Amino acid sequence: MDLPLAWSLVLLVTAIWNFVIWPPFLKRVRKDERSHDAGGAPTTFLRVHTILIAISLALAISVGVLGILTLA
């Protein structure tokens, strides 16, 4: 793939940024009182945020792979 070096670096920085931001956010969401009901079962709040974070990390992997492939 032909892509200018600057764009390849933008892709890589974006992927790294996502891996720096989302895992700590998930830790905070899990500790949030809205994440579990009175019985300790996961709530919709936790499930939705977990899915959104998983999608963001999957996209980060894709963007990171594209960034690496375009460097070559």
Condensed to tens digits (0 to 9), the pLDDT of residues 13-29 reads: 999 999 999 999 999 99
DSSP assignment letter at 32:
S
Contact 61, 55 (CB under 8 A): no
Cα angle for residues 17, 44, 19 (degrees, 5° grid): 10
Alpha helices in the chain (DSSP H): 5-31, 44-71
Measured CA distances, 17 to 1, 31, 42, 43 (Å): 23, 22, 28, 28
Supply the pTM of this predicted model. Answer: 0.88
- pLDDT classification of 38: cutoffs 50, 70, 90: very high
